[in-house]
Amino acid sequence: MRPRDGEPDRSNPLPATSVLAHAVATDSAQAMNRSLRLLGRLLLIAALAFGASACAREEQPPAGRAATAPSGEVALDALPREAQQTLALIRQGGPFPYRKDGSVFGNRERLLPKQQRGYYTEYTVPTPGSRDRGARRIVAGKGATGDPATGGEYYYSDDHYQSFRRIRP
């Protein structure tokens, strides 16, 4: 219905300036939304790139340490009593007291001779007084038999893989 002469048009509740402002605000909101989506994608790409480079760095030997063989040997009877007991459990095939015993040791530190993944397994050497698994481990290689229990290749670490000594029988 058209207004009479001299009466305001009430069919459009928003004046023309409000309609224009609404259109501009809608366009600005859409532009902002597009910008935020683009920013989110860029951040995701940056995070993935950073993560990939961190993984690549992880595969390198620690700074100042060459990828070498274990640093020496240790006689079985010179090991702590707990390490001797752990080695006896490995040789008999268990049972092992810790859930992670027998899991694959990745040799990321590259301190042991290079072998294919799955060749080495790790075992916890209990540390008296420690409330967790502690730092002591025995890592077993599969050796010629393909079995850590009979392979005869054992390494001891008392500093959570910072160094290894091959265990002599």
98-113, pLDDT tens digit by residue? 999 999 999 998 999 9
Residue 12 has pLDDT above 60, yes or no: no
Q: Which two tokens stand for residue 142?
A: 């599969």
126-168, pLDDT tens digit by residue? 999 888 999 999 999 999 999 999 999 999 999 999 999 999 9
The bridge status of strand 73-75 relative to strand 103-104 is unpaired
pTM of the model: 0.60
Average pLDDT over the chain reads 80
Residues annotated catalytic, as ranges: 122, 160
Fold of 73-168: Nuclear Transport Factor 2; Chain: A, (3.10.450)
Residue 49 has pLDDT above 80, yes or no: no
Mean pLDDT of all residues in 59-69: 44
Contacts 24+ apart (CB under 8 A), 140-145: 140/90, 141/112, 141/113, 141/115
